[in-house]
Structure 1
Amino acid sequence: MSERAAVIALHYQNEVLHPDGKIRVGVDDETVRERVIAGAAEMLALARERQWPVMHVRIAFRPDYADCPRNTPIFRKTVELGAVKEDEWGTEFLAQLQPLDNEQEFIVTHQRLSAFAGTQLDHLLRMLDVRHLVIGGVATHSVVEHTVRDAADRGYEVTIVAQACASGSPELHDAALRSLALVAQVTDVQSLAREKAL
């Protein structure tokens, strides 16, 4: 990487990754769940070692869902499940993947498919002079895909950490990564760590 990098960590929340969460996209399989948590932890550790900014992105809606768009099946299902309500356990970050309290780590809350839509994410990244994004999250075929494509359209270089992502099925995960390879580099933490430090 020749430009300053930042990590975008998408939806590492209890509702998504904890066995008691209401969504659990791709993590009903314990092997997948453990792989994603381990991959995300390695990605965060690398960012902290390299002193890259980390954007911890969470999804959360008002308890009455007045701020939740109903134009897509995925958000209608969110309402039906009663998931990711603000100030509830489900919107909190998984214990193993908590943000650190320092000036390099930020929490961004969104209510759309892309982490950029309606948030300060782009402003924060440009303020920090970031041009290369390292992205992981759940689910690969939804928030990861939308955020990666949005980032590419905004001019960022994007690298996806495959083992820090998961979908509702391996087929969806693999298909999303194959498609995203047109606009981003798909790699693993080990390969990323071998690249020259910024």
Structure 2
Amino acid sequence: MTDTALIVIDMLNRYEHEDAEALVSSVRDVLPSVQELIKRARNAAVPVIYVNDNFGQWRSHHGELVESALAGRRPELVEPILPDENSLFVVKARHSIFYETPLSYLLRQLGVQHLVLCGQVTEQCVLYSALDAHIRHFDVSVAPRTVAHIDPELADAALRMMESNMSTALVHPDELAFNDTKA
């Protein structure tokens, strides 16, 4: 058993929002690393938890959100990282993975103490999630090659803030050893 979980943030995206085109290039760059990280976590039996915006579809379940993302403008950015039958799923309404969600309870039930965050957007949802994880006393790791951004300068600043203000470990994806009790 591991005390680590991989959190995939907002990767099930229709790419139909105002900043989508600025984000798409970065998502393309990080997608292979995110895909590999998910694969490694699954192979090590580490919980993979998708935490995703609900696109205002409050009656939706995760299957409908997946279908919606696949029907959006960039299905090629969604298909490689789809949840499998063992993936867990939490719907969020705002930036943080914790805000008004049952994620904290789920993580405690799983015995998770360490979160590996990947996904989008570095300077928004990833940053706020790292802060909320920190104040909830979770250890956090982020591999910069697995988080996509809209604004590269803000993303760099966000990563520096995570590291210096929130004790987030910034690591290369290969350094995340999911077989250990702490990645």
54, 64, 76: which one aligns with 2:48: 54
1:110 aligns with 2:92: yes
- Which of 169, 175, 179 is 1:191 aligned to? 175
Report if the CA contact (8 A) 1:59-1:91 is conserved.
Answer: no
Secondary structure of 1:137's aligned partner: strand
Q: 2:35 aligns with which of 19, 38, 41?
A: 41
Describe how 1:39-188 pairs up with structure 2 within 5 A: 39-62=33-56, 89-90=68-69, 94-102=78-86, 105-182=87-164, 183=166, 184-188=168-172
Report the secondary structure of 1:14's partner residue: coil
Whichever residue aligns with residue 118 of structure 1, its letter is E
Instruction: Give 1:90 shift.
Output: 3.5
RMSD (CA atoms): 2.5
Q: Give % identity.
A: 28
Q: Indicate how the Cα distance of structure 1 residues 132 and 33 shifts in structure 2: closer, same or farther if over 3 A, else same.
A: same
- With the length of structure 1 as denominator, give the TM-score of the two structures: 0.75
**Quick one: distance in 1 between partners of 2:70 and 2:124?**
17
- What's the offset of the Cα at 1:98? 0.6
What is the number of equivalent residue pairs in this alignment? 167
The Cα shift of 1:87 comes to 8.3
Deviations 1:160-184 (A, max 9, x none): 1211112112212111101110220
1:6 and 1:55 in contact (8 A); partners too: yes
Question: What displacement does 1:14 show?
Answer: 3.0
Q: Secondary structure at the match of 1:165?
A: strand
Q: Distance between the aligned counterparts of 1:25 and 1:56, measured in 2?
A: 23
Distance in 2 (CA, whole Å) between partners of 1:61 and 1:163 is 26
Q: Any unmatched runs of 5+ in structure 1? A: 66-84
Instruction: Give the deviation of 1:34 after TM superposition.
Output: 2.3
> 1:120 Cα shift?
1.0
- Identify the residue that residue 61 of structure 2 maps to in structure 1: none
- Are 2:142 and 2:169, in contact at CA under 8 Å, matched by a contact in 1? yes
- Which has the higher Rg, Structure 1 or Structure 2? 1
Is the contact between residue 137 and residue 165 of structure 1 (CA under 8 Å) also seen in structure 2?
yes
Q: Secondary structure at the match of 2:128?
A: helix
Write the deviation string for residues 129-173 of structure 1: whole angstroms up to 9, x where unpaired.
000000011100111001110001001000012111121122121
Native 8 Å contact 1:41 1:96 kept in 2: yes
Q: Which amino acid aligns with 1:52?
A: V
The AA in structure 1 aligned to 2:84 is L
Residue 46 of structure 1 deviates from its aligned partner by 1.6
Shift in Å, 1:88: 6.7
Report which stretch shifted further, 144-153 or 163-172: 163-172
